[in-house]
Amino acid sequence: MSAAVLSRDPGLVAAVDRHLDLQVESARRLLELVLRQGSAIRERDTEAVLARLAEIKTEMAARENLERERSGLIATAAARLGTGADGVTLSALAGLMSEGEAAELEARSAELRGLLGEIGREHGINRALMRQELTFLDHLLRLVGEPDAGGGNRLMDVEA
């Protein structure tokens, strides 16, 4: 199909626009949660770490819904383009919009990629911090759990 036929489908352009807005909003929320989780980890605030984890799981479930919607949009665009899903690219979609719409699409797509990159980096930092905290906790438990001179186990003595 030609781009002229596709450009006459304002519904597709509006749906892509709306979807990208939802993706950016979700990524911003997720980044905020990951940053707050990192703060809680640094503060050793276990309750806050667990609360952020629950919130992150909720946001990830919402993102799964967005991914299903994205798949539907790609299928619709692929049908309009007369191509497979792998032929639906940002530049192919941009070719179906006005210059202003295409520029806005590119800017928000770049923002989304940046947010997702930052989320990935911060999540990696949080994982490293958690490993460090768990290693320290493991070390403390081993110290407490070492047998004393009388053959007893200090951890067991503490629990008794």
Residue tagged 């989780």 (tokens): 37
- Domain ranges within the chain, ordered by starting residue: 3-121
Give Cα separations from 67 to 26, 29, 103, 140 (angstroms). Answer: 11, 16, 23, 43
2 vs 24: which has the higher pLDDT: 24
pLDDT score recorded for residue 38:
96
Both structure tokens of 135? 């290693």
User: What would be the CATH architecture of the domain defined by 3-121?
Assistant: Up-down Bundle (1.20)
Residues 17-65 have pLDDT tens digits of: 999 999 999 999 999 999 999 999 999 999 999 999 999 999 999 999 9
